[in-house]
Amino acid sequence: MDETQALDALGALAQETRLRIVRLLVTAGPDGMAAGAIGEAMGATSSRLSFHLTHLEAAGLVQSRRDGRSIRYSAVYDALSGLIAFLMRDCCQGHPEVCTPAVAALSACACPSPEPAA
């Protein structure tokens, strides 16, 4: 992820409704949710919801596919992990003060295998 993509992603996440949508879709898993279900969870009108979903999709954070008369939205995990990696990149240039607490927070979660394939 380059700076332009990171700025798009950060801008997309820097809005209450959109941040909640992404968090909702991440927990919803790969199948995602229908737009209507998201709108109900957000308490947003269809127009407002569509605006934010379009914004998130343009930023590459979510993707959509039609399913019958619904449209299902799901999180793009690569985009989110890419953004996190982008934010962590700097600290590795001799200043691990950012990385270490982040990894500690990670380890405190229930992630199965926190070590890479290498």
Chain positions contacting DNA, by CB under 7 A: 11, 15-18, 34-37, 39, 44-55, 64, 66, 68-71
Q: Does 69 bind a copy of itself (CB under 8 A)?
A: no
In the stretch 9-28, what mask flags binding to a copy of itself with x, by CB under 8 A? -xx-xxxx--xx--x--xx-
Pairing state between β 70-75 and 62-67:
antiparallel
Structure tokens belonging to residue 78: 């690569």
Virtual torsion, Cα 91, 95, 101, 106, nearest 10 deg? 40
**Residue 99 Cβ vs DNA, minimum distance, rounded to whole Å:** 27
* From a copy of itself, DNA, none, interface partner of 35 (C-beta below 5 to 8 A by class): DNA
CA-only gyration radius of the chain, Å: 16
Q: Which residues are CB-contacts of 72 (< 8 A; sequence separation ≥ 6)?
A: 31, 32, 33, 34, 35, 64, 65, 66
* From a copy of itself, DNA, none, interface partner of 46 (C-beta below 5 to 8 A by class): DNA
Residues that bind a copy of itself (CB under 8 A): 3, 6-7, 10-11, 13-16, 19-20, 23, 26-27, 29-30, 77-78, 80-85, 87-118
